Chain A
């Protein structure tokens, strides 16, 4: 799901940067409005590291293989910190491992970061009624983890399909894109389960971690 350099035309890359900058600004503003903006920084730093490393965990889904994204998990647990965390994680992935690229950093931040914010909004629904109802936390955790991957794949496909270069054989490339999208369906389930396990663990061990979110 990381788009490398040289795939997107310049206006799309620039647009990606613009949207990513706006989302970062909005997230930081929301963080600044908190009582103690620094409180959640340690959590965000650790999950940035998890996001950074997660892209190496490959899950073979024949005929392709996909890797963990964890953007839904970051959104659910970090709230507005998720977007800056993902931008930083993507930056390190791009400069150190050429996974993604610097010109497409904005576009990739949109692809993975905006769904993280969506996951945050989904997981926040638990505040309606009993906040720590076990079933509710589990279901919302699963939904935020899996839907974030789903939305990411949807944005990824939309960006690619609207920017197919003319020298490519379009039907072949589209088939490849759809195949990649289908390969992500199991990943949605996997990330949903991972997010559920983590939020249930936090709920049992130290629910205060999720207080600020």
Chain B
């Protein structure tokens, strides 16, 4: 059974894809139009590290959180990328799901160019420390209840 899926938002920053130049021939004036397309790439993996190959992805636009704007499937490395519609700025929602496991990430698009995603969680050392604390709590409970009755 897989542990909870965790997303590492690999990178959701923009790749400037198209630089569209238009140069009218007739005058000396030059006009340069350019558009920047934002491409979001997510990488989905179980927290055992195994990529969620073939997981289903649904992308929701900020103004319509109920109908998927795009659906797709992760590749063998658990990656999925899409280009959100920059004319609909706000927080885009990406859900990944496979066999009852999955997670949701929120990616802000437009306005400021920053993106946000869930951090990749705790460092291994933190996890071990937290686990040790819980285990010690249990051991302490056991010791308390097993002390000799006076």
Chain A interface (Cβ < 8 Å from any Cβ of B): 1-4, 6-7, 38, 41-43, 45-46, 48-49, 52-53, 55-56, 58, 64-67, 69, 92, 96-101, 156, 159-160, 167-169, 172-173, 176-177, 179-180, 183-184, 187
Contacts and interface: CB of A to CB of B under 8 A. Distances in A.
Contact of A41 (B46, B100, B131, B141): B141
Given A1-B1, A99-B3, A173-B56, 19 more contacts: A3-B101, A4-B4, A4-B101, A4-B102, A6-B104, A42-B146, A45-B139, A45-B145, A46-B142, A49-B139, A52-B131, A53-B131, A69-B1, A97-B127, A98-B121, A160-B99, A167-B68, A173-B98, A180-B1
Nearest to A178: B99
11 contacts: A2-B1, A45-B139, A49-B138, A58-B48, A65-B48, A65-B50, A100-B4, A160-B100, A173-B97, A176-B99, A180-B100
Interface string B46-75: 111010001110100000000110010100
B5 interface: yes
B135 interface: yes
Interface of B: 1-6, 46-48, 50, 54-56, 58, 67-68, 71, 73, 95, 97-104, 121-122, 127, 130-131, 134-135, 138-139, 141-143, 145-146
A176 B3 contact: no
Given A2-B3, A4-B4, A100-B4, A169 B138 contact: no
Contacts of A65: 2, 46, 48, 50
B102 A6 contact: yes
Given A42-B141, A48-B138, A65-B48, A180 B103 contact: no
Contacts of B1: 1-2, 66-67, 69, 180, 183-184, 187
Nearest to B140: A45
B145 A169 contact: no
Nearest to B95: A6
B2 A168 contact: no
Contacts of A187: 1
B97 A7 contact: yes
Contacts of A38: 145
B100 A177 contact: yes
B139 A99 contact: no
Given A3-B100, A4-B102, A41-B142, A176 B54 contact: yes
Contact of B103 (A1, A4, A96, A156): A4
A96 B101 CA distance: 18
Residue picked from B6, B46, B95, B101, most chain A C-beta under 10 Å = B101
Nearest to B149: A38
Given A3-B100, A4-B101, A180 B134 contact: no
Please list the 9 inter-chain residue pairs (A to B) with the smallest Cβ-Cβ separation, ordered nearest first. Answer: A49-B138, A42-B142, A176-B99, A41-B145, A45-B141, A45-B142, A42-B146, A1-B1, A180-B99
A151 B73 CA distance: 30
Contacts of A46: 138-139, 142
Contacts of A96: 130-131, 134
A184 to B, nearest CB: 7
